[in-house]
Amino acid sequence: MTDKDADLEQAKLYARDFGELYRAEKKRREELAEEKIVLENKVRELEALNKLFQSHLEQRFKVQEAFDELIGKIKALLQGNMDTETRSKLKDLLNEAESKRNQTSQQPPGQERSS
């Protein structure tokens, strides 16, 4: 075998190895592109869930604020003149409302008890 033949044989081996490396690299790039799509979808899902959760929190705070305002109004009514039976009913209503407010304010958002 001459030097030329040996060089040609070596070039063929390099070409074969290069082809295998190229195919492996191409396959890996395709896999990465697929993984990128999956990750982008997951990011969109998380963004949507976050938006939903933020909306839920905002709504919960508005409800809590309205509930607190209602309790304040009941307390103000109790300061006025009224008959004993009405006063007793308002006190019961106030106690029930404050009890429910305390229950829900101790729970993390999304864990409210349904009554």
Number of domains in the chain: 1
User: Per the structure block, which two tokens stand in for 81?
Assistant: 């003149």
pLDDT value of residue 111: 57
Q: Is residue 107 within 8 Å of 92, Cβ to Cβ?
A: no
Domain carrying residue 15: 3-105
For residue 111, is it within any domain? no
Q: Is residue 59 within 8 Å of 46, Cβ to Cβ?
A: no
pLDDT value of residue 108: 60
Instruction: For residue 74, give the H/E element and its range.
Output: helix 3-79
DSSP helix/strand/coil, 42: helix
C-alpha 42/C-alpha 67 separation (Å) is 37
pLDDT value of residue 52: 97
For residue 13, is it within any domain? yes
pLDDT value of residue 19: 92
For residue 98, is it within any domain? yes
For residue 100, is it within any domain? yes
pLDDT value of residue 115: 43
For residue 110, is it within any domain? no
pTM summary value = 0.56
pLDDT value of residue 37: 98
For residue 113, is it within any domain? no
**Around Cβ 101, how many Cβ atoms within 10 Å?**
15
User: Per the structure block, which two tokens stand in for 77?
Assistant: 């009514």
For residue 36, is it within any domain? yes
For residue 112, is it within any domain? no
Instruction: List, for residues 55-85, the tens digit of each pLDDT value.
Output: 999 999 999 898 889 888 888 888 888 788 8
Q: Could you list the mean pLDDT of each consecutive 10-residue stretch along the chain, which spans 115 residues?
A: 87 92 96 98 98 95 90 84 84 85 67 49
Instruction: For residue 58, give the H/E element and its range.
Output: helix 3-79
C-alpha 47/C-alpha 106 separation (Å) is 27
Residue holding tokens 């869930």?
49
